[in-house]
Amino acid sequence: MDLYFSPLACSMATRIVFYEAGAEARFIEVDTHTQRTSDGVDFRAVNPLGMVPVLRTDEGALIRENVAVLQYVADAYPDAGLAPRGRLERARLQQWIAFTNTELHKAAFVPLLDPKAPEGAKAYALEKSARPLAVLDEHLRDREFLLDAFSVADAYLATILNWTVAAPVPLAQWPAVSAYLARMRARPATARAMAEETPLYLREQARRKAEARQLPV
Ligand SMILES: N[C@@H](CCC(=O)N[C@@H](CS)C(=O)NCC(=O)O)C(=O)O
């Protein structure tokens, strides 16, 4: 399978899932500013939304949206046990993926990290993030993972919470969430994904800075 990714973006969750499953994949880097891929393609031809992640299956089908991509990869490696199969447990998995996607990723972290977001939008997002983070803290107080065992929902949540290194979310206010993030970062698959994507992220940032300096004034 091919994973279109951008360094340290939400697509890192799927890289973590591949590593947790001990599976091979081809990782194709996307510069979401220029919409060029590392193999020289206009990314909008792959995803008209211009967003990562996109997965190309072994049969050549393109799948986008974290919610779908994460579960597709988990289901491709059932022995890794990264997505429960029972009806209720699968619903719980989807509940936590959807929570991460809507309440944290898009509603809170995107405005907080987007340099183009107005200050009012950032303040609103920060205020709105307090309740979901409190709910999450309560849930994680006496559990190691979102479900009974590590799942793709944890890969996604850890990826999004990792953005607190840059977003002004006072994570220390939610000690169970802070401890959870530390546990997830210590997992070999997550540590490996972060170690591989961090230098790519720094290189991308340096390239963008250099390009900005070259703009005519
Ligand atoms: N609804 C999409 C959102 C994905 C998303 O927000 N991707 C970000 C990176 S984390 C992106 O590609 N942003 C580039 C842009 O907005 O142009 C999903 O959940 O997969």
Task: Convert the pLDDT of each residue in 182-193 to its tens digit.
Answer: 999 999 999 999
The answer, yes or no, to whether residue 217 has pLDDT greater than 70, is: no
Q: What average pLDDT is seen over the chain? A: 96
Cβ neighbours, 10 Å, residue 62: 12
pTM score: 0.97
CA of 138 to the centre of ligand 1 (A): 28
Which residues have any ligand 1 atom within 6 Å of their CB?
Answer: 6, 9-10, 32, 50-53, 65-66, 101
Rounded to the nearest angstrom, the distance between the alpha carbon of 51 and the centre of ligand 1 is: 4
User: Cα of 9 to ligand 1 centre, how many Å?
Assistant: 8
Extract the tokens encoding 86. 């029972």
Give pLDDT, residue 213: 81
Q: Which two tokens stand for residue 178?
A: 């802070």
pLDDT at 161: 98
Predicted local distance difference test score (pLDDT) of residue 214: 77
**114: phi then psi, degrees, rounded to nearest 5:** -80, 115
- The pLDDT confidence band at residue 90, using thresholds 50, 70 and 90, is very high
Confidence at residue 54, expressed as pLDDT on a 0 to 100 scale = 98
Q: Which of 10, 65, 163, 197 to mutate to test the pocket of ligand 1 (most atoms within 8 A of CB)?
A: 10
Helices within the chain (DSSP H only): 12-21, 66-76, 87-98, 110-113, 119-140, 152-161, 175-186, 188-214
For ligand 1, the distance from its centroid to the CA atom of residue 180, given in whole angstroms, is 24
